[in-house]
A and B are shown apart, each in its own frame.
Chain A
């Protein structure tokens, strides 16, 4: 009897030990990837705070902190202008994209008209087309529009925003959501004398905050990351967005690594803030779309 109990006890402590070792092992694995993931950021921050001479050297951490690098980079590289440009581009794109997507999604989800499913299917199939195929003809179209029309397109907001106002993914996302709104709500609204637009504005949109937020987040990331298209359609800092501006700065900064890293940090800050504020939403949006160039 005693032996059995003793045996059991040693068994359980052995199992507990094994469990503990397993836990430690898991933590070691998790920590090692965390180190891989985070070290570049730490290195970026530490380099951005070094003096010019130290940034060339081999020390990982700076001996004294040079916060003025940020001020210098900000002023020298026109980051203020790039920031406002990117924000403006995001806002204009978002205004158009939200309006058009909400209307279209509602039309596709809740109104029956001939050819509806065909049109929606054609729209969905365009999601497969790689951006590289569209970039050349769109550049020609935009140039043409700018040359014949009253407003400039190249090096101005229309070329940077208008092509992104019709977004299939956001229409798709909203349509899925709108289709779930129960019909009874609409019948009730109709009895109260509300048409489609009023129903959309008063009932559907207040319910759709989550997918709308997803679109806002994605659109913000998209404008912040955009590189190839803005490189084509801007040729001066006047409308250059942040990614293009940072690349130009990094290419021109020569050997001043501390400045480059300060610039990279500055570029990351708004996205990081957005990420930490809306973490769950943010992760979900990106995971759902899988869009990133």
Chain B
């Protein structure tokens, strides 16, 4: 194979020779074009890297340490375990396994592609390993260097800041005793990886060569990461286990991990079996569906039995924050979308003044949040004379404490009716309900505008056709407009649900000490840990839990989007 490529290449070269100088100019121009491109994107890319990508890794680094104002001891997964109990270990194991699975899937797909193209390039596995080793050793060097560089700031305190001093300290950081060997290893692997790249591209000139190499490197990286994570987690579990034995507690880590993992595995298996059942013929499909339902039941039962126990061992604040967020989601998203859809359909009738209405509706969204939240703080103040309490008085109802009321709304409703409501059914606190009302008030305007845009995209012919067929208004809405709006509804609910996890500003302005943190959603909980309690490491761990939730929601939504949303 190589020989034929070589001879081909020589022929090409021979052809080129007389035009050599012209090709040289072209090449120079191409390199200049590349350079222009890199230079143009560089400032923005560097800034986004420093303040948007690097922080994710940095947050992970912080979350593994005890870090209160200053960096303390290495804690491993203890921050995570403090937040979500032993679920942290399960999640870390699961991530490790997932990384390995991803690597295997990548290789399988690669093999299929190679077969289709009849490429015999399995030796690229080795080149990929070289690249992966290079990236891995770079990461290692970087992680070792980071604390040394961070410490420079502490060494500079109280001394006059000069460029020379900084350069000297930076040099010392680079030459620190554990950093320098890591750097040499990185240089070595870098050399090997470059040599491998050059040799392989010489040996096999093919446009598919580089993508193959890159994907092999990626699979190696995933495998390495997976193994690293599993080994690390195992060591963490063992140390936690021995620590628990020392204090004489019942460790119970392994049974919990096994129960949770098998629960999750059963759920995943159920999903796969269900999918294969859809392709299978009817009788086999039936049994497969039964099987998957069984797996689902058992897995769900295991999880429902075990997860609350684990979470109870975790952080109460986090648990409350999660509960508040879920209440907040459930109490705002359907209402704001429902009201907005209704208003948008009304506005779409092209009545006189609809522009004016639209402008007024959007006003609530446009207003600076702090200002409008400050207004709501007074409207819903606990004073007898506040506007909302006055309105209650007109209806003969009692004055409420609103933003200062920590007890659940269902409990309060039950009390006024003389029924005692069990604690688990207390519902969101009245303070949180006020925040929900504010949130609905703000976002209805935005959702209406987006729905109006969606309505504008529906062709009038479809509606006219339905009218000719004698469909009534409701039938048209139910069977034509609503299905055609499903992408808009989908987009808005996705944004809104993710938004509830990110929500911060208005809750921060509206939260009141007297509500006993019942209105603190997830983001607010993180901010309190960080800003008020100065627990940087722990807050970063919480932030990572948030990131995991948001990524999971996005992935699930992307799956759903394919199957359930109708794009006309």
Contact = CB atoms under 8 A, between A and B. Distances in A.
Interface of A: 23, 26-27, 29-30, 33-34, 36-38, 40-41, 43-44, 47, 56-58, 60, 99-101, 103-104, 106-108, 111-114, 116, 119, 122-123, 126, 128-138, 140-141, 143-144, 147-148, 150, 162-163, 165-168, 171, 196, 224-225, 227-228, 231-232, 242-243, 246-247, 250, 257, 260-261, 263-265, 267-268, 271-272, 275, 279, 282-283, 286-287, 290, 292-293
Contact of B43 (A29, A38, A103): A103
Contact of A286 (B153, B366, B530, B539): B366
Contacts of A279: 359
Contacts of B480: none
B504 A293 contact: yes
Contact of A271 (B40, B45, B368): B368
Contacts of A136: 55, 59, 62, 530, 536, 539-540, 543
B48 A227 contact: no
Contacts of B34: 113-114
A84 to B, nearest CB: 17
A282 B366 contact: yes
A133 B360 contact: no
Given A132-B523, A133-B543, A225-B505, 16 more contacts: A30-B346, A43-B387, A103-B41, A104-B45, A119-B41, A130-B502, A136-B543, A141-B58, A165-B47, A166-B48, A168-B48, A225-B369, A247-B370, A260-B378, A271-B368, A290-B495
Nearest to A111: B37
Nearest to B38: A113
A287 B157 contact: no
B161 interface: yes
Given A111-B36, A136-B543, A243-B370, A27 B351 contact: yes
Nearest to B440: A36
14 contacts: A26-B349, A30-B343, A30-B357, A33-B339, A38-B363, A104-B44, A111-B40, A113-B38, A131-B502, A132-B546, A140-B62, A166-B48, A243-B505, A271-B367
Given A33-B361, A133-B546, A279-B359, A107 B539 contact: no
Interface residues of B, number: 93
Contacts of A108: 41
B51 A134 contact: yes
Contact of A137 (B62, B347, B354, B453): B62
Contacts of B387: 43, 60
A103 B44 contact: yes
B50 interface: yes
B264 interface: no
Contacts of A272: 366-367
Interface of A is mostly: helix
A224 B377 CA distance: 20
A228 B495 contact: no
B400 to A, nearest CB: 16
B55 A134 contact: yes
Contact of B347 (A30, A44, A268): A30
The 6 closest A-B pairs by CB, nearest first: A166-B47, A107-B40, A113-B37, A104-B44, A137-B58, A111-B37
A26 B346 contact: yes
B546 A130 contact: yes
Contact of B374 (A37, A119, A260): A260
Interface stretch (B78-86, B464-472, B547-555): B547-555
A166 B62 CA distance: 24
A144 B62 CA distance: 14
A257 B369 CA distance: 18
Contacts of A112: 33, 37
B364 interface: yes
Given A29-B342, A243-B368, A246-B374, A166 B51 contact: yes
Interface string B26-69: 00000001101110110111111011111110110010000000
Interface of B: 33-34, 36-38, 40-41, 43-48, 50-56, 58-59, 62, 150, 152-153, 156-157, 161, 166, 339, 342-343, 346-347, 349, 351, 354, 357, 359-372, 374-379, 383, 385, 387, 390, 441, 444-446, 449-450, 453, 495, 501-505, 508-509, 523, 526-527, 530-531, 536, 539-540, 543-544, 546-547, 550-551, 554
B339 A144 contact: no
Given A123-B48, A147-B153, A166-B47, A133 B501 contact: no
A260 to B, nearest CB: 6
B505 A293 contact: yes
A122 to B, nearest CB: 7
B55 A137 contact: yes
A133 B47 contact: no
Contacts of B504: 131-132, 227-228, 293
A260 B378 CA distance: 9
Nearest to B539: A136
Nearest to B549: A130
B368 A43 contact: no
Contact of A148 (B166, B385, B446): B166
A247 B53 contact: no
Contacts of A30: 343, 346-347, 351, 354, 357
Contacts of A167: 44, 48
A148 B153 contact: yes
Contacts of B62: 136-137, 140
A293 B536 CA distance: 22
A148 B161 contact: yes
A257 B161 CA distance: 48
Nearest to A228: B504
B343 A29 contact: yes
B403 to A, nearest CB: 13
Contact of B450 (A33, A116, A168, A287): A287
A267 B371 contact: yes
B85 to A, nearest CB: 21
A100 B366 contact: no
A267 B370 contact: yes
Contacts of A283: 362, 449
A113 B385 contact: no
Taking each of A34, A132, A150, A293, which has the highest tally of chain B beta carbons within 10 Å of its own beta carbon?
A132
Contacts of A128: 550-551, 554
B441 A37 contact: yes
A104 B550 contact: no
Contacts of B370: 225, 227, 243, 246-247, 267
Nearest to B389: A58
Contacts of B55: 133-134, 136-138, 141
A287 B450 CA distance: 6
A119 B499 CA distance: 27
